[in-house]
Amino acid sequence: MSVGVASGRHLQALLGSLGRLIRSPLASFLTLLVIALALALPAALKLFVTNAQAATGNFASAVDVSVYLKTDVPLAKAQQLTQAAQQRPDVATVTLISADKGLEDFRTYSGFGDALAALKENPLPHVLHVRPRAAASSAAGLDSLRRYFAAWPEVDLVQVDSEWVMRFNAILEVLQRLLIIAAVLLGIGVLAIIGNTIRLEIQARRAEIEVTKLVGGSNAFVRRPFLYTGVLYGLGGALLAWGILTVVVLVLRDSVATLARLYGSRYLLEGLTPDDIGVLLGVGLVLGWLGAWIAAARHLRSIEPRA
């Protein structure tokens, strides 16, 4: 069989499958809708997680760890510790705020300057402001940094700022796991939907399959239109899911922008990236093909011509 003839066969099978879908538009559409919703749900969750991460990206990098040294630690030792902290791979920058600098800042910004003047000596300790790298800004990363500094004998207190960001990041992590679980479960659901649809179609076309086998149609020939039907369902469902998500993003965009403005941000809701769309369509295509293949493998073999 030449390549031209082979691709002609495939085109024919594809058009035949497409024609059958179009001939029963309501049933096909309902099936497509169910597949689309099953694909759209994990994709929407993915959008939520990426948007939440992007929206809080600025806050997350602002998570500082303040390391308060004991008041009897001399400045030279504090500088030495700053150097040591700087060596850690999960630390971006370390700023040393000496006791004198701290007092000066306090005098300038707090409005208690006169009261401070009454103090005989500086009651403030030296403080290290540690800014972790973005990768270490997760709840677990921050916690390990906190425990690391707390173990130093010179350290009096370690305070992780913006605890809510940590909690938020932890929630995002939960959501990310949930996203994977939902994607797997709904993927299996899509397989089942497509497999069942193909099974029903195989039963409906039993006579045709028998005759085709009778005149020498191979299993591959008989299977082909069903595989194309599965691929069309999967791909069509993914396209519909893309459409649904596009509408959802458009509807939410204004209210999210308003919400962001109230928090003093100019954040805009992000839609699906070309990569996301590629993954969505690819997953739809593969699930459609696989679902149809499983159904065809199970049910086509049992249909043998009877004279």
| Residues making contact with other proteins (CB under 8 A) | 1, 5-6, 8-9, 12, 207-208, 210-219, 221, 304-307
Q: How far is the CB of 194 from other proteins (least distance, A)?
A: 24
Nearest alpha-carbon partner for 255 in 242, 271, 268, 272:
268
Residue (216 or 264) nearer to other proteins, CB: 216
Q: Which residues pair with 155 in a beta bridge?
A: 69
Q: How far is the CB of 231 from other proteins (least distance, A)?
A: 20
Between CA 128 and CA 95 the distance in angstroms is 6
Q: How far is the CB of 218 from other proteins (least distance, A)?
A: 4
Q: How far is CA 272 from the centre of its chain?
A: 11
Backbone Cα Rg of the chain: 31
Tokens of 104: 């000066």
Residue (210 or 270) nearer to other proteins, CB: 210
Between CA 239 and CA 216 the distance in angstroms is 37
Residues 6+ apart with CB under 8 A from 204: none
Order of all β-strands in the sheet with 65-69:
91-97, 127-132, 65-69, 155-160
Q: How far is the CB of 299 from other proteins (least distance, A)?
A: 16
Q: How far is the CB of 29 from other proteins (least distance, A)?
A: 22
Contact in structure between 237 and 284 (CB atoms under 8 Å): yes
Residue (56 or 229) nearer to other proteins, CB: 229
Q: How far is the CB of 53 from other proteins (least distance, A)?
A: 52
Residue (76 or 207) nearer to other proteins, CB: 207
Contact in structure between 33 and 124 (CB atoms under 8 Å): no
Q: How far is the CB of 7 from other proteins (least distance, A)?
A: 11
Between CA 240 and CA 263 the distance in angstroms is 34
The three-class DSSP label of residue 304 is coil
Residue (213 or 253) nearer to other proteins, CB: 213
Give the type of residue at 128: L
Residue (23 or 266) nearer to other proteins, CB: 23
Residue (171 or 214) nearer to other proteins, CB: 214
Nearest alpha-carbon partner for 191 in 42, 34, 300, 303:
34
